[in-house]
Structures are given as C-alpha cells and as structure tokens.
Structure 1
Amino acid sequence: MTGELSPIDTAKFVAARRAADMVQSGMRVGLGTGSTAAWLVRCLAEAVRERDLHFRGVPTSTRTAEMARDLGLEVITLEEAGWLDITIDGADEFDGELNLIKGGGGALLHEKIVASASDRMVVIADAAKEVESLGAFPLPVEVIPFGWKATQTLIDEALTAMDVMGKTIELRPGADGPYRTDEGNLILDLKLTRIGNPRQLAMVLNQVPGVVENGLFVDICDQVVIGHADGRVTLRDVTADTVSEEQYDVGGDGNAFGDLGE
C-alpha cells in the first residue's frame, strides 16, 4: 500500500492495531468479517512476522479464511478449537450498552456462533458506528430459502407489536439473484430506523418460523475499540465500566501502514 490512508481507513486501522495487541501467543482467536476485520487480519499477520506471535484463528466467513491463509495465518475450524479465548470483529452499529447490529457483510450467523463461543468478544469500529439507538443501519435477518416470503410476512406481523419506528423489509440482492450466505440462506434487511428494545426484538425474531438468526448482538460484546481519524483509540469496557484512550502516530506519509499490503 502506498500513499496516505483516508480518514475512515486510518480510524479502522488504529482500532484494528490496538485490538491485535490483545492477542497473545497460544490463543484461539475468532476472526470477524468485513472491512474493519480485514484490517485486523493484516495487523495480526504483521504481528506474526514482527513479534513472533503464534495463534490459531477461527474465521467467520470464507472471505476471512481465504485472506488469513493468504497472509500466512494458521486457520482452524471452531470444532477443532473447541472454545475461543477471544473474538475480534467489526460492527455496523453499536450503542452505549455495547448492543450491536452486525451482518452487513452477510456473515451474521457464523459471527454470532463464534462470538458466543468465546471468553471475550471485542468489537473494533470507527467512531461513526456509535449511535444513541440502534436501527439506522438495516437489521439483517438470515432466513432459509424455503417459504421465505411467508417468513417475511410473519416478520412484518411481528414488527407491528415491536418498539420500532419503521418496518420496511427487503430481500438482499446478490451479484446474480438473491444474496446467499455461506450456509446457502437468504438475508432479509429490516429498515427499522430506530429499535427501542433490541433484546425483545432479537427474541421475537428468532421465534418466527424460517428465521435462522438475526443481526442483533445483545449481551455478547465485552469491549469496543473505537478508532478515530487522528490516530486516537478509545477502549470502552462494559464489564469493568471503564474508558481509556491512547494515541497512535499515524504520520502524514503513510509509512506506518506500508508493510500491511493491499
């Protein structure tokens, strides 16, 4: 990579670099999916080269698995790992209680399984992902292909009793027909604008026949690492109820990022 990073990529990079420092040799690590998680994989590959870090990664998608292998990281399955020490992943939105919306990249089912099978889940995000109330980002719901239109109707009926501002539901498109997850399922994107009670909505959605999982991550995230365009990193820990801040020297010539590759 050459030249300067954009402000948003700088924020993602410093968040990923701080989270990569949490990984210690011998750990079993869940590797998330998405643009910020991709920065994490690059930072971990750099740590393997520069500080002789040894760990085994469990990717949450085929995309992350391919990237990790290409960068020389050891990749195993969740079955082989058994249980994880830490999962580090991005988020489409998070609120003050570290409730999340995830699944913009289509891997919400694997992401939730991996995060739930970890001692600790850490979210890495740029500051723009923090919201007062979840819902501005469409909520992904993974559904089986059979009878998906009936499932959509049932979801629409269920939303009538929920504390949400809107209830538009769209089938996510892919490159050639509907988008398909790694499990071959479909995704319905719920445009709700505001979600008043994420915990209640998550429970109700998962009771609808045909729904596999939803993108609300409630009581799963332990820490969030927030990156800023000026190189600052804010670390918020919901369990310890602490907030700390660090500063990274990002420079102006892009040299700090040159060894990460494209």
Structure 2
Amino acid sequence: MGAKVGKSWYTRSRLNKGAKMENLKKMAGIKAAEYVKDGMVVGLGTGSTAYYFVEEVGRRIKEEGLKITAVTTSSTTSEQARRLGIPLKSIDEVDEVDVTVDGADEVDTDFNGIKGGGGALLMEKVVATPTKTYIWVVDESKMVGKLGVFKLPVEVVQYGAGQLFRRFEHAGYKPSFREKNGQRYVTDMQNFIIDLDLGVIENPVEFGQKLDHVVGVVEHGLFNQMVDMVIVAGRNGVQILKSTKSKGE
C-alpha cells in the first residue's frame, strides 16, 4: 500500500464542460430499473446514483403499475421509498432478494469495490448477501485499475473506538473518524465510521479478510467478488459490464 494508484482499466470518454455528472448518474439509475420485474423483491441502494434508480422504480409503480416489494439499505432510502409509494418490507421478512441496485465509490478490474461513502455499508452488505442479482450503478469516474483513491470506510462499535483508531494509526492506515456537523458520524446501526487512507490496495480480498478478524470492526467497505453486473454511464452512453466472479467475502 502507499504506491501510486493505477490507471483506469475502463476507457473513459472525454467529458466536455457541458457534460453533467448528475446526468450520468441518472442514466445509470434509469437503465438499472429495467431489470426490475413484476413480483420481485428488490433491494434499494443508498447514495447519489442509487437515488435515481429508486426514483425510476417509484415512477414505474405509479405510471406502469409495477408490482414489487422492496427492502432498503438505509433510513434515507426508506424515507425516499415511502415518499414514492414503494411497498417496503424488513430484510428479516424475506429469505432472498431478487435484485439489488446500489452505487459504488470505486470498482476495480476484478469487480471488487469500495462502498460506504454514504455511511450505509453495513446495511448495504446485509441486503447484498442474500441477493440473486447484485448490480452497481456508477458513472465512469468510479472505474479504476486498482482500489485506493477513495478512502476505505470501516464501521466500528463506539466502545473502544479510540483504541481501535490508534491501532489503525500504528499500522500506517492513516485513519480519520468520519464527522457530520462537527461531531462523529453515527450510522443507522449506531456505530462510528473510521475512514482509512490506504493508497493502492494491492490485494482487496486479503485485506478484507484481515479486517474481518479485527475485534471491534462491525463491517468494512470492501465488497469483494460480490457484484454480478456494473452499469457504467459515460458521455458516450451506458455500458453494461458483467462479472464472472462468484460471490465471496
């Protein structure tokens, strides 16, 4: 870790000054909603790109009579879904989820990703795990050669968080507590988030497994070999990238 972050493996278009990042996010979100069919249990992701997916699902329910049940990955998404009239269930009320659409902060060549910029990484991973088809929606800036430009979120219990912070500091992970309004950010599950500034993560799977064994860590933002499809929006349109990886930790 600490090496220079590698170049993107995804061929980006050159965005002119008039191109709007929000338009790219909207394109990806609307495209992802095409994978939602009548009778499905749908996982609704969290974040700026997943927002447009949820909006499109709500539109289809209202205008097309789409019939689904949804589970959400954050209190923010739950509020959005209720506003749109999307029927909701608790994750505990379903055995599996047909399709989940969520955003990602980075995606590498092996379809590993960093998630949790919106602070919902634990709930996102809980919903992703029983999902049959797991889709990420991103704009092309999120496609990287290796993970590491984006800080890695680690959700930790409040008790002993300072001690855990110092352990990360001594390990050279350059930790910082996430804050909101000058206070430590508290997740929906009442935990803190420590963001690690690692530089290049040469082996995300190995590092994720290492974090899994740290006492006090509830979950981390490495989503390794979990995604089935990545919908990427760029100025030249939308591309669909399919992973051949099986789901793993």
**Shared fold (TM-score greater than 0.5)?**
yes
What's the offset of the Cα at 1:82? Answer: 2.1
Spell out, residue by residue over 1:213-236, the C-alpha distance to the aligned partner (whole angstroms, 9 max, x if none).
000000111100001134x11000
Alignment match, 1:147: 160
Alignment match, 1:194: 200
What's the offset of the Cα at 1:13? Answer: 0.8
Residue 73, structure 1, aligned to residue 73, structure 2? no
Residue 51, structure 1, aligned to residue 57, structure 2? no
Alignment match, 2:115: 102
In 2, the alpha carbon distance for the partners of 1:70 and 1:238 equals 33
Alignment match, 2:215: 209
What's the offset of the Cα at 1:155? Answer: 3.0
Letter in 2 for 1:138: K
Does the 8 Å contact 1:62/1:182 carry over to 2?
Answer: yes
What's the offset of the Cα at 1:180? Answer: 0.2
Does the 8 Å contact 2:168/2:174 carry over to 1?
Answer: no
Residue 28, structure 1, aligned to residue 44, structure 2? no
What's the offset of the Cα at 1:51? Answer: 2.2
1:81-230 alignment runs, 5 A limit: 81-157=94-170, 159=171, 167-230=173-236
Aligned pair partner of 1:8 in 1, 17, 21:
21
In 1, the alpha carbon distance for the partners of 2:155 and 2:58 equals 31
Does the 8 Å contact 1:10/1:228 carry over to 2?
Answer: no
Secondary structure (helix, strand or coil) at the match of 1:121 reads strand
What's the offset of the Cα at 1:208? Answer: 0.9
Please provide the CA RMSD for this pair.
Answer: 1.5
TM-score, normalised via structure 1 length = 0.84
In 1, the alpha carbon distance for the partners of 2:118 and 2:94 equals 24
Mean alpha-carbon deviation: is it higher for 41-50 or for 87-96? 41-50
TM-score, normalised via structure 2 length = 0.88
In 2, the alpha carbon distance for the partners of 1:25 and 1:236 equals 24
In 2, the alpha carbon distance for the partners of 1:153 and 1:201 equals 18
Count residues with an aligned counterpart.
Answer: 228
Does the 8 Å contact 1:155/1:205 carry over to 2?
Answer: no
Does the 8 Å contact 1:34/1:90 carry over to 2?
Answer: yes
Alignment match, 1:237: 242
Spell out, residue by residue over 1:136-182, the C-alpha distance to the aligned partner (whole angstroms, 9 max, x if none).
0000000001111111233345x46xxxxxx2110101125100000
In 2, the alpha carbon distance for the partners of 1:50 and 1:236 equals 29
Deviating 4+ runs (over 6 angstroms):
none
Letter in 2 for 1:169: P
Does the 8 Å contact 1:170/1:188 carry over to 2?
Answer: yes
Mean alpha-carbon deviation: is it higher for 51-60 or for 105-114? 51-60
